[in-house]
Amino acid sequence: MSTKTVFATLMGRPNVGKSTLLNQIIGEKVSIVSPKPQTTRTRITGILTRGEVQYVFMDMPGFITGRTGLGKRMEQTVSDTVEEAEIAVFVAEAKAPGEAEKRMLKRLAQMGTPAILVINKIDAIPKERILAAISAFTAVFEFEAVIPLSARTGDGVELLLRELEERAEESPFFFDPEQLSDQPEAVYACEVVREKMLYLLGQEVPHGVALAVESFEESEGLISIHAVIYCSRESHKGIIIGKGGAMLKEISRRAREELEGHFGCKVFLKCYVKVKRDWENNRGLLDSLGFTRE
């Protein structure tokens, strides 16, 4: 059997639904999702192998302008990923393109990178707005194809896969057909904890945390995880822990329940909160947490 592969990079503003789309395509959660912008911080690869075709998707942070060390590294991740993209899946909402989007499209045009436009969230938007957005976007860039879809319901996702399959090239598979993501399990576990924080806490606190795995051990029928939540202020630590430890308990409970479903076994999860002043600018810590160097 001759095999084919296609590499596609999901790009777009924060919060447009890139990670939701990736999860919908893969059929399992590989990238965390939240209603708050700047949820994804690193590049995450999701893999779908169907018959003789392997689709490799790169999810990445939304276009941002970084001010802290962390923000700059996220911006660098976006920049590197855009440079390396073979095919861009440019995800947008049904609005006219903003400045950051226009800038990225300009770069894609300069590099000659082919792009498919995805107008997401069609489950929640009237048709006229979708059509208006399509004409506004196609006026600034020559897209190979335009696909309105709903990452949430899956409506239209098959059309995107069909477009990508047409662009797949004959080659051996790059990943084991069983593999869904490139993220180590321990890193994924931390991401799920961070996701629960994005849901349970206001914007400022979860955006100021980083997670590190202290230990991840598997024994018969049980995964035992010890994770450290770094935050930059004493006041944030108090909020994360909550009255009598109630908030941290709720974060851990939600994360544990989800991880038990994900791993298909019992999970023991213990999270500690540590204050590390100005960690967003601490180069050593950013390196050890796996953020791209500037």
How many Å apart are CA 143 and CA 193, to the nearest integer? Answer: 37
For position 19 contacting ligand GTP by CB under 6 A, the verdict is yes
Task: Please identify, using beta-carbon distances, which residue of 40 and 77 lies nearer to ligand GTP.
Answer: 40
- Is 44 strand, coil or helix? strand
The binder of Mg ion chosen from 19, 38, 45, 150 (CB under 5 A)? 19
Partner from Mg ion, ligand GTP, none contacting 49, C-beta within 5 to 8 A by type: none
- Please state, in angstroms and rounded to a whole number, the distance separating the CA atoms of residues 87 and 47: 15
* Count of residues that bind Mg ion according to CB under 5 A: 4
Compute the half-sphere exposure of residue 125: CA atoms within 13 Å on the CB side of its CA: 19
Phi-psi region of 174 (alpha: psi -120 to 50; beta: other; left: phi over 0): alpha
Please say which residue, 148 or 225, places its beta carbon nearer to ligand GTP: 148
Regarding 71 and contact with ligand GTP (CB under 6 A), the answer is no
Secondary structure letter of residue 181 according to DSSP: B
Report the nearest approach of ligand GTP to the CB of residue 185 (Å): 21
Nearer to ligand GTP, 94 or 223 (CB): 94
d(CA 42, CA 77): 7
Q: What residue type is assigned to position 117 of the chain?
A: L
> Which among 144-152, 189-197, 216-224, 257-265 is the span making contact with ligand GTP, rule CB under 6 A?
144-152
Binding track, positions 38-67, relative to ligand GTP; x by CB under 6 A: xxx--------------------xx-----
* Nearest distance from C-beta of residue 89 to Mg ion, angstroms: 13
Per CB under 5 A, contacts with Mg ion among 37-66 are 39-40
What whole-number distance in Å separates Cα of residue 143 and Cα of residue 114? 7
Q: How far is CA 184 from CA 45, 191, 256, 267, in A?
A: 11, 11, 17, 16
Kindly list the residues in this chain that would bind ligand GTP in the complex (CB under 6 A): 12, 14-20, 33-35, 37-40, 61-62, 120-121, 123-124, 150-152
